[in-house]
Structure 1
Amino acid sequence: MKKILIIEDEPQVRENIQEILMLSNFDAITACNGMLGVELAQCHAPDLILCDIMMPELDGYGVLKELRHHHPTATIPLIFLTAKSDRSSLRQGMEFGANDYLTKPFEPDELLRAIMAQLDKQSLIAQNTQAKLEELSQSITLSLPHELHTPLNGILGMAEILIHDPGVSAEETLEIAQTIRGSALRLYRLTQNFLLHAELEILKRDTARIQHLRCRSNLAAKSVILSVIRKKAQEVDRVRDLGIELREVNLAISEVHLKKIVDELIDNAFKFSSTGTPVWVLGSADHRFFHLQVIDIGRGMTSEQIENLTAYIQFERRTYEQQGAGLGLTIAKQLTELYGGQLTIESTSGQRTCVHLTLPKANQMNILAEQSSLNFHSS
């Protein structure tokens, strides 16, 4: 039985709505004012809320604001009940995050249709969310153990050789030590990415801290980008494959975060393309933004894979065994959006991938900081 909370200060209206809902097989609970309504919503977690707008102490807008600021009640559908029919009032209600509205007086059928429409939408959202959670769970189940066990097995296996094989030569000992070091670095990168991803998920809800990060940085970016991509190219022995065209620009981003973004993008380009094929890093700027493109001729991605890109997802695991748990691009996207930028991917499966990064120039940050909505969303 679906539970519906009625927040209405007029006793007759409140009782009439409750009777209609009970006759329609709903569990209807009531609150005579906004303050009590918020308490009951937090206590009972109703499936839907009907809320009058004009109430003393805490009006409908205040109720909605309180509900949306608390995680347990943030997604409960809310239908405003209002005696006002002017468009400004209705528009304000929708801007505050209401799902629908009914103008009093209304017929029982009109009320029930509005309720069922919202419950059906919520059910569909829940189904889609559950499907995504199951997909994510499966991806974590398949990917995470493999990514953790592979470097650990390398470390443990090589250590066993050193301990139990007295005939290991000095040259072999050095090779084993290098293998252990490589596995340890891989494991370290993986754990750091998991921690960073979790930190960014928390940070995206801290508006004040985001504004502070955006406004305090003024970084000469060219040398930073060059150092990262050249180091990565040397590590994977692909210096000859690298093509670079960059111009100097000052960006409103921390050096640590820019290095992380570029490192993940260039690492991804090398990882999913073959030695001997080109990887281009192209940087340009207009009067507001810096544009960085990382292009490889390699495995590519389908449009569906790009759309479904998220943390822990690594596509075609059974076919390809490249290292990585799917966090790299997600983290790069999170960091880019943290600073008011955008990261997009254009790709043709089996042919070419271009990751396009856009970041505000340093002198644009004060303008962006004044905007009321933050350009921050999770892959």
Structure 2
Amino acid sequence: MDHTTKTQKILVIDDEESYRQIISMTLQMTGYEVLEATNGLDGLAAAKMHHPDLILCDVNMPKMDGHALLAALRNEQEFAGIPFVFLTGNAGPGDLRKGMQAGADDYLTKPFSAEELINAVATRITKKRTIQKYFESQFDDIRSNIALSLPHEFRTPLNGILGFSQILAEEEDVAPEEVRQIGSMINKSGKRLHHLLENLVLFGQLQLWRTDAAKTSALRKERSGRVGDTLQAIIDDLMVKHERPGSIISTFAEAEARISAQYLGKIVEEVTDNALKFSDRGTTVSVDAVANGTTLTITVRDAGRGMTEEQVGRISGFQQFERGYYEQQGAGLGLALTRALTEIHDGTLSIVSEKNLGTTVTIALPSNP
């Protein structure tokens, strides 16, 4: 038994005193701190008061059953990430499915041995630690890259806004045509700053939502509407933004994805924006959305400068490559944001890239057949 388990707090909720005492004694002898409750209502109060590291809960109990307790915890962000293991004597396929759909992490079927109990608890606590370490490393990476990229990314558009507005404020004889040009430049800098701030906020929210089962479930219930209706306007706007008319060739299936139109649009906007940003004028970018059964596959291809395998593997928030050789705008959030949005909607993202030959980004999302 690792000594770190002495700090782990387990909440046992069961109305059968004999089972509850046996479980508590077994865990205490193994080194855990144990809290007890005799029904779901008291268990909910104990969970909120003590913030346990794991909950072992019977299904059928007075006042509030296990499923209702689990739903109550998963609906509150502060407690949604606590590992939850059901204890039951009736673990049929229907019961298992109902519990897992509600967000349970595991099932223990009564009667179970002390070894089965200890292994189940250790497995769930180890998994929780692994997830925590992963997010800590991600935030460390983000903090490190923020220090390098954000000062430049905020300063550049702000300098543009301040500099051009100062000209308007101090110069008396600015020609009308110059005023229009300056106003356009201020507007462009403002939009760049606004886009950066929006992406920063969304990226931070996604890091929190990953551990919020209720929020994740709600996101996956959204529907995009017809893909073409959602994406065509975004494609048109990007060609205007980059002053590359006709540079995007697109085909869209008659389908809808299990994601909101807003976030589907965000995914395609970020990936396609990168494709245009890092490819030369005169080349084309293709954006294709193909439906196959219950999967919508979106593929974005460019013939740009590409990335090495190492660079693809290092994609994360605020990570840019070869900035010393290429002037580029943005905090390096595009692909990281796209990956986070895709994964929280139960999708996958893959990148195939070859240096100086181009990049293909493939996003697979659940769809309605």
Name the TM tier (shorter chain): 0.7 to 0.9
Question: How far is the alpha carbon of 1:157 from its aligned partner?
Answer: 3.2
1:336, 1:107 → 2: CA distance? 40
Determine the structure 2 residue equivalent to 1:298.
Answer: 304
Does the 8 A contact of 2:142 with 2:318 survive in 1?
yes
Q: 1:233 to 1:151 in 2, by over 3 A?
A: closer
Q: 1:85 to 1:173 in 2, by over 3 A?
A: closer
1:359, 1:223 → 2: CA distance? 18
Determine the structure 2 residue equivalent to 1:231.
Answer: 240
Q: Does 1:101 align with 2:111?
A: no
Aligned pairs (5 A) from 1:289-368 = 293-302=299-308, 306=312, 309=315, 312-316=317-321, 318-319=323-324, 320-329=326-335, 345-356=351-362, 367=368
Question: How far is the alpha carbon of 1:96 from its aligned partner?
Answer: 4.3
Counterpart code for 2:33: D
Determine the structure 2 residue equivalent to 1:185.
Answer: 191
Determine the structure 1 residue equivalent to 2:215.
Answer: 205
Q: Secondary structure at the match of 1:354?
A: strand
Question: Residue 78 of structure 2 is aligned with which of 63, 72, 79?
Answer: 72
Determine the structure 1 residue equivalent to 2:8.
Answer: 2
Does the 8 A contact of 2:160 with 2:186 survive in 1?
yes
Determine the structure 2 residue equivalent to 1:374.
Answer: none
2:229, 2:77 → 1: CA distance? 39
Question: How far is the alpha carbon of 1:78 from its aligned partner?
Answer: 2.4
1:85, 1:270 → 2: CA distance? 53
Determine the structure 2 residue equivalent to 1:124.
Answer: 130
Q: Does 1:63 align with 2:73?
A: no
Counterpart code for 2:63: E
Q: 1:18 to 1:229 in 2, by over 3 A?
A: closer
Does the 8 A contact of 1:7 with 1:14 survive in 2?
yes
RMSD: 4.5
Q: Secondary structure at the match of 1:81?
A: strand
Aligned pairs (5 A) from 1:279-290 = 279-281=284-286, 283=288
Q: 1:166 to 1:249 in 2, by over 3 A?
A: same
Q: Does 1:27 align with 2:33?
A: yes
Determine the structure 1 residue equivalent to 2:139.
Answer: 133
1:206, 1:85 → 2: CA distance? 26
Does the 8 A contact of 2:54 with 2:84 survive in 1?
yes
Q: Secondary structure at the match of 2:24?
A: helix
- Residues 120-150 of structure 1, C-alpha deviation per residue, up to 9 Å, x if partnerless? 2222221112111222233334333322111
Size of the alignment, in residue pairs?
355
Question: How far is the alpha carbon of 1:358 from its aligned partner?
Answer: 7.0
Does the 8 A contact of 2:10 with 2:32 survive in 1?
yes
Question: How far is the alpha carbon of 1:291 from its aligned partner?
Answer: 6.6
Q: Secondary structure at the match of 2:78?
A: helix
1:129, 1:256 → 2: CA distance? 26
- Residues 129-180 of structure 1, C-alpha deviation per residue, up to 9 Å, x if partnerless? 2111222233334333322111112222344456667898998777655544
Determine the structure 1 residue equivalent to 2:3.
Answer: none
Does the 8 A contact of 1:65 with 1:96 survive in 2?
yes
My pick for the range that moved more, 263-272 or 120-129, is 263-272
Q: Secondary structure at the match of 1:73?
A: coil
1:226, 1:195 → 2: CA distance? 23
Counterpart code for 1:271: K
Does the 8 A contact of 1:221 with 1:251 survive in 2?
no
Does the 8 A contact of 1:220 with 1:250 survive in 2?
no
- Residues 183-216 of structure 1, C-alpha deviation per residue, up to 9 Å, x if partnerless? 23322333454566678898x938779867645x
Question: How far is the alpha carbon of 1:228 from its aligned partner?
Answer: 3.0
Q: 1:135 to 1:317 in 2, by over 3 A?
A: farther
Structure with max Cα Rg: 1
Counterpart code for 2:69: V
Q: Secondary structure at the match of 1:299?
A: coil
Q: 1:108 to 1:270 in 2, by over 3 A?
A: closer
- Residues 300-329 of structure 1, C-alpha deviation per residue, up to 9 Å, x if partnerless? 23556556655x433226544410123445
Counterpart code for 2:37: A
Counterpart code for 1:314: Q
Q: 1:304 to 1:44 in 2, by over 3 A?
A: farther
Does the 8 A contact of 2:312 with 2:351 survive in 1?
yes
Does the 8 A contact of 1:218 with 1:252 survive in 2?
yes
Determine the structure 2 residue equivalent to 1:371.
Answer: none
2:95, 2:264 → 1: CA distance? 44
Q: Secondary structure at the match of 1:14?
A: helix
Q: 1:63 to 1:189 in 2, by over 3 A?
A: closer
User: TM-score, with normalisation over the residues of structure 2?
Assistant: 0.73
Q: 1:308 to 1:152 in 2, by over 3 A?
A: same
Does the 8 A contact of 1:220 with 1:248 survive in 2?
no
Q: Secondary structure at the match of 1:54?
A: coil
Counterpart code for 2:136: Q
